[in-house]
């Protein structure tokens, strides 16, 4: 089966991105035919600086590769290198009810966060549907809170099929079951928007600075603590070996856990976990032509499927 995943180039990738999406996306290439893209068209709703867009686009591509995506087994490409997807967006928009877009929660959330209420933001779900449908995707890996994106895509495809005949395969959401909730350094959800991240592709000193800034309470070292309500423990648990995790949990419950030592150990674990990925990322950064060649090859392979799907849709609409 074919699985499709995309990530917006909207800043430094952090461990919340990794455990919430990237780790699962890359693991799927062992089970499915993977299509992975950098959603730079989508990022235009928030990023208006061309130099920043180019830098962040390459950052996401390098991150995919450094973290284990194999371009020999999967397809990695830029959304903007597939012109067919924008044409399909228009064909889909011609049958998409306004009411369907008005019910999409992503638009309301973005506007509430202060993002400009532009037309592109409003029709964002149509472009997203085109991304999914144009490659005849079977499954789309999403968290439970993103399931609506796939449901809206299915609604658009069904409406188009009802109007013009059977053109599109209806994809299924692939709910990521084992997604870890990653707290930010302030205890809230980790997000670039909140400035509370622990970034992946930074030097060890930056990792140390970010982790040492994790908010903890003033409970004395010798006092018992609830590990599940401790920000640093909930980050530590993502990286610690099972035996160390259990021993540390016991130390919390009986007393003796020191937040400073927990932070230092977490720094070491994070640096160990991403050491190979950071080395590969540095190699790719030193050879940007390698990255661009992988993206060009991926786009050429992805366009084979995109052209075939668009041709079906054009013929169904009477575009001659």
Structural domains of the chain, with CATH: 2-181+288-317 (3.40.50.620), 202-273 (1.10.240.10)
254 carries an active-site annotation: no
* pLDDT at position 175: 82
111: tokens are: 């506007």
Cα 55–57–60 angle (5° rounding)? Answer: 110
Q: Give 256: exposed, middle or buried? Use CB within 10 Å, 0-12, 13-18, 19+.
A: middle
What SS3 state is found at 10?
Answer: coil
189 carries an active-site annotation: yes
* pLDDT at position 117: 76
- Which is catalytic among the residues 62, 110, 225, 263? 110
* pLDDT at position 87: 98
What SS3 state is found at 112?
Answer: helix
225 carries an active-site annotation: no
> SS3 letters for 53-92?
HHHHHHHHHHHHHHCCCCCCCCEEEEHHHCHHHHHHHHHH
CA distances from 221 to 26, 91, 169, 214 (A): 40, 63, 58, 17
- What pTM was estimated for this model as a whole? 0.92
* pLDDT at position 180: 67
Distance between CA atoms of residues 151 and 201, nearest Å:
34
Nearest to 153 by CA among 170, 136, 141: 170
* pLDDT at position 178: 63
206: tokens are: 């930056």
- pLDDT, one tens digit per residue, over 90-106 is 999 999 999 998 888 77
Helices within the chain (DSSP H only): 15-17, 23-27, 40-43, 50-66, 83-93, 98-102, 105-112, 119-122, 124-133, 147-164, 204-212, 231-236, 242-254, 259-273, 275-286, 288-317
Residue pair 78/299 in contact (Cβ under 8 Å)? The answer is yes
Helices within 213-258 (DSSP H only): 231-236, 242-254
- Which is catalytic among the residues 192, 209, 225, 307? 192
* pLDDT at position 109: 75
Distance between CA atoms of residues 104 and 88, nearest Å:
20
Tokens 């950071």: give the residue: 278
Distance between CA atoms of residues 176 and 21, nearest Å:
8
Q: Residues of 153-188 as b/e, b for ≥16 C-beta within 10 angstroms? A: bbbbbebbbeebeebbbebebbebeebeebbbbebe
Tokens 């996401």: give the residue: 60
Residue pair 279/249 in contact (Cβ under 8 Å)? The answer is no
Question: Which ranges of the chain have pLDDT less than 70?
Answer: 177-180
Nearest to 78 by CA among 52, 43, 119, 124: 43
Distance between CA atoms of residues 103 and 170, nearest Å:
20
Write the Ramachandran bin of 288: left for phi over 0, alpha for psi from -120 to 50, otherwise beta.
Answer: alpha
- Which is catalytic among the residues 159, 169, 189, 264? 189
* pLDDT at position 78: 98
Distance between CA atoms of residues 31 and 90, nearest Å:
33
* pLDDT at position 145: 73
């Amino acid at each position: 089966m074919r699985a499709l995943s995309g990530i917006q180039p909207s800043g430094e990738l952090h461990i919340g991105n990794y455990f919430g999406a990237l780790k699962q996306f890359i693991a799927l290439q062992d089970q499915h035919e993977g299509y992975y893209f950098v959603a730079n068209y989508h990022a235009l709703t928030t990023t208006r600086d061309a130099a920043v867009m180019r830098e962040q686009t390459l950052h996401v591509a390098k991150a995919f590769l450094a973290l284990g995506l194999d371009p020999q087994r999967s397809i990695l490409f830029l959304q903007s290198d597939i012109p067919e997807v924008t044409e399909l967006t228009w064909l889909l928009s011609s049958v998409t009810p306004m009411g369907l877009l008005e019910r999409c929660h992503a638009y309301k959330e973005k506007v509430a966060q202060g993002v400009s209420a532009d037309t592109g933001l409003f029709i964002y779900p149509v472009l997203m549907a085109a991304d999914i449908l144009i490659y005849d995707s079977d499954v789309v890996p999403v968290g439970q809170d993103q399931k609506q994106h796939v449901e809206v895509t299915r609604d658009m495809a069904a409406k188009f099929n009802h109007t013009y005949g059977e053109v599109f395969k209806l994809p299924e959401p692939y709910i990521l079951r084992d997604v870890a909730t990653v707290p930010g350094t302030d205890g809230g959800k980790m997000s670039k928007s909140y400035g509370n991240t622990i970034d992946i592709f930074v030097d060890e000193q930056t990792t140390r600075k970010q982790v040492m800034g994790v908010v903890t309470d003033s409970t004395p070292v010798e006092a018992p603590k609830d590990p599940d309500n401790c920000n640093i423990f909930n980050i530590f648990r993502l990286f610690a070996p099972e035996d160390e995790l259990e021993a540390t949990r016991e130390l919390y419950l009986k007393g003796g856990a020191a937040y400073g030592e927990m932070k230092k150990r977490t720094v070491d674990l994070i640096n160990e976990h991403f050491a190979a990925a950071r080395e590969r990322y540095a190699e790719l950064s030193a050879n940007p032509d390698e990255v661009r060649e992988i993206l060009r090859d991926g786009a050429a392979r992805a366009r084979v499927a995109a052209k075939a799907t668009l041709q079906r849709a054009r013929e169904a609409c009477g575009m001659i």
